[in-house]
Amino acid sequence: MKIRRRNKLLVESPASATSDIAFILIIFFLVCASVQPEDGQKQSLPKSEDQPDKKQQSENPEVAISRTSIILNGNPLKPQQFRTEIKKVLAQKKREVDKVVVVKSKPDTPYEIWIETAGYIKEAGGIITLQLEEQQTEMVN
Amino acid sequence: MAMGDIAFLLLIFFVILARVQDDSHIIWEPAKLHNLEQSKNAKASVAIDADNKLYLNGKPIGVTNLAGEISEILGEAPAGKRTVFLKVHKHATATYFEPVIEAISEAGGDLMHVLEDARMK
């Protein structure tokens, strides 16, 4: 009599590949996270070595920013008013060189107010140039 | 053989983690603005934290050395490939960030302010 053997083979899936897959997935998500782009606003700056022509500078709009106010060509404005006015002023300028806006900030001007104002100037097509306060060293005998 | 594969993968894992411009330890809050642009690659990252301390690529630096260091990093990179990220804490004052902006301009960098979208809550 022929005895039939039932050969039951236990076939397990290879578990060693699971750790490799886990590592590759971790690296995949790390690479995705590391190339996340930054959100922001670009700013083109005229080179500081260029000596501005004083006569030309007097024709450029001047903005003075402080903690409490934004002053455009000597007129204090609220932020939304400034947004409208700077567009009107720059719309009248035909040449690129005339669209340079001289920005002077008080030392205590917070960055969030400065960047908001800079955003309005850029929105209006202006190019920002900074006018920094001069530092003078005096020798005392 | 498996141990070799695991060691290789761990090596890649830590190489990717160790980014050159690691400024994740800097405590700062971005200012908010609308209509932001996106930029992935920057040659350098300058940050001013909540205590008005200045960092270049995650390392503390003085403002007098900033232009020189950025020039060195940017090297002879062509225009368009000279992006410098500027991350300024929203309450930092002009005394601190204006000289930094001037330094980046002096070094010939393409400045990009890193901000948060005002629409996001």
Residue B46: CB partners within 8 Å, gap ≥ 6? B54, B55, B56, B66, B70, B84, B85, B86, B87, B100, B104
Task: Calculate how close chain A gets to B79, using CA atoms only, in Å.
Answer: 12
Residue ranges covered by each domain of chain B: 22-117
Residues of A in contact with B117 (CB under 8 A): 39
What integer pLDDT is reported at residue B36 of this predicted model? 86
Domains for chain A: give ranges and CATH numbers.
Answer: 56-130 (3.30.420.270)
Q: Which range has the worst mean pLDDT, A7-16, B77-86, B87-96?
A: A7-16
Q: Tens of pLDDT along B28-82?
A: 999 998 888 887 778 899 999 999 999 999 999 999 999 999 999 999 988 888 9
Give A-chain residues touching B99 at CB under 8 angstroms: 132
Contact A38 B102 (CB under 8 A): no
Contact B39 A37 (CB under 8 A): yes
- Determine the Cα–Cα distance for residues A82 and A117; give it in Å rounded to an integer: 8
Considering only CB atoms, which chain A residues are within 8 Å of B112? 38, 40-43
Best of A32, A115, A122 to disrupt the B interface (most B CBs within 10 Å) is: A115
Q: Which residue in A has a C-alpha nearest to residue B110's C-alpha?
A: A44
Distance from C-alpha of A84 to C-alpha of A81, rounded to nearest angstrom: 5
Q: Is the pTM of this model over 0.95?
A: no
Q: Are B58 and B93 in contact (CB under 8 A)?
A: no
Q: Express each pLDDT in A107-118 by its tens digit.
A: 999 999 999 999
ipTM of the complex: 0.82
pLDDT of B39 reads: 79
Answer whether B31 sits within 8 Å of A105, measured CB to CB.
Answer: no
Tell me the pLDDT band of B121, cut-offs 50, 70 and 90. very low
Mean pLDDT of chain B: 86
Give the pLDDT confidence score for residue A39 in this predicted structure. Answer: 84
State which residue of chain A sits closest to B17, comparing Cα positions: A30
Which residues of chain B are within 8 Å of residue A16 when distances are taken between CB atoms? 2
- Which of B9, B37, B102 shows the shortest C-beta gap to A40? B37
The proportion of chain A whose per-residue pLDDT surpasses 90, expressed as a percent, equals: 41
The tens digit of pLDDT for each residue in A12-46 reads: 666 667 777 777 777 777 777 666 677 888 887 76
Q: Is B21 exposed, middle or buried (0-12, 13-18, 19+ CB in 10 A)?
A: middle
- What string of DSSP letters covers chain A? -PPPP---------THHHHHHHHHHHHHHHHHHHTPPEEEEEE----TTS---HHHHHHS-EEEE-SS-EEETTEEE-HHHHHHHHHHHHHT--SGGGGEEEEEE-TT-BHHHHHHHHHHHHHTT-EEEE-PPP-------
Reduce the DSSP state of residue B104 to 3 states and report it: helix
Q: Give the residue, A49 or A19, on which the prediction is more confident.
A: A19
